[in-house]
């Protein structure tokens, strides 16, 4: 059968037609990416995509959304759209549908991805463990966190979370300064305020303030670009600091979830993968006091599938409606 797979984040809404095999296999068609700010609602974005596809779409939907899943009304964390699940059939014409948290979808993709779709970041070489809990997290417009559990019988189960909204815990004087800057605007500073794409602006400006520099105001894209291409040393320091914080948070999540492995996901992580590997990410990941030895034995990978949200949304549909849960 064919379904429409959708992955909606804070900035983009991605659509693709997915063909599902009788064995639970998934073949994704060419994705279409729309900007959420260009559409008043998900329905108008859906209609735009439908028009692009010739005026008709399959009558089944798999949707990954950046926010907590509620039965009556879904609000997104980083965009103004809302979705009312009870109205999906009447508004979109989809009799069967699955809605999952966006990083729950990414966890589905990580559970299904073959070994050649991962890059090694830290810890022991080799594939992810065949059983146990795998933590999945990734910085984007926000900070997504989920995990999946692999059973000995070869099946898996995903648990979406809002772990990116846990409290940020600085571990040195520089991060103390970053936290102090953020506390001027936010009563409570979450991990997402430091470990997400837009957060690089606050990191950059905090480092400038520490050095007493008056710097030109830059966008997050400008800082990421100049920080990774070597054209701006302060931006490069901000990117390195981001990688350190990402390592700390990833280690915290692994401890909290009892993980036997960790997957970093998202377009930002992939774009700066070489920087992550060369940074202090790995040392921060393992810097957990008495548990440093245990943390050093956890493999940390980065998933390279180009559309893990779309693949994972389709996988969640397969699991819910077709009963297939291959790992």
Sign of CA dihedral 268, 97, 131, 162: positive
pLDDT at 325: 53
Q: What are phi and psi of 171, to 5 degrees?
A: -125, 0
Q: Which tens digit of pLDDT belongs to each residue from 93-121? A: 998 999 999 999 999 999 999 999 999 99
Check pLDDT > 70 for residue 32: yes
Provide CB contacts within 8 A for 24, sequence distance 6+: 318, 322, 324, 325, 326
Q: What mean pLDDT comes out for the span 69-87?
A: 90
What 3-state DSSP class applies to 224?
A: helix
Q: How many Å apart are CA 207 and CA 180, to the nearest integer?
A: 12
Q: What mean pLDDT comes out for the span 249-256?
A: 98
pLDDT at 324: 58
The average confidence (pLDDT) of the chain is: 94
- Binned at pLDDT 50, 70 and 90, residue 76 comes out as confident
pLDDT at 125: 94
**pLDDT over 70 for what percent of the chain?**
99
**What is the value of pTM for the model shown?**
0.90
pLDDT at 322: 87
């Amino acid at each position: 059968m064919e379904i429409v797979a959708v992955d909606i984040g804070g900035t983009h809404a991605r659509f693709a037609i997915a063909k599902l095999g009788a064995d639970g296999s998934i073949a994704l068609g060419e994705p279409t990416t729309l900007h959420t700010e260009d559409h008043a609602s998900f329905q108008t974005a859906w209609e735009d995509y439908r028009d692009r596809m010739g005026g008709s779409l399959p009558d089944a939907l798999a949707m990954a959304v950046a926010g907590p899943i509620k039965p009556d009304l879904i609000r997104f964390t980083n965009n103004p759209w809302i979705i009312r699940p009870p109205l999906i059939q009447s508004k979109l014409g989809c009799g069967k549908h699955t809605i999952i948290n966006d990083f729950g979808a990414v966890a589905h993709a990580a559970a299904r991805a073959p070994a050649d779709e991962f890059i090694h970041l830290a810890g022991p070489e080799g594939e992810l463990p065949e059983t146990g809990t795998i933590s999945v997290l990734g910085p984007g417009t926000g900070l997504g966190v989920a995990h999946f559990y692999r059973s000995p019988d070869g099946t898996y189960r995903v648990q979406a979370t809002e772990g990116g909204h846990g409290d940020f815990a600085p571990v040195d004087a520089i991060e103390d300064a970053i936290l102090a800057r953020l506390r001027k605007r936010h009563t409570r500073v979450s991990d997402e305020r430091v470990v997400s794409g837009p957060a690089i602006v606050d990191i950059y400006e905090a480092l400038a303030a520490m050095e007493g520099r008056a710097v030109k105001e830059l966008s997050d894209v400008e800082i990421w670009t100049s920080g990774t291409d070597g054209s701006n040393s302060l931006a490069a320091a901000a990117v390195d600091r981001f990688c350190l914080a990402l390592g700390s948070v990833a280690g915290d999540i692994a401890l909290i979830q009892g993980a036997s492995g960790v997957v970093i996901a998202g377009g930002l992580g992939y774009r700066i993968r070489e920087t992550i590997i060369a940074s202090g990410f790995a040392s921060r990941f393992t810097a957990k006091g008495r548990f440093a030895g245990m943390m050093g034995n956890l493999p940390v990978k980065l998933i390279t599938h180009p559309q893990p949200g779309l693949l994972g949304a389709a996988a969640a549909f397969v699991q819910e409606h077709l009963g297939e849960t291959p790992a």
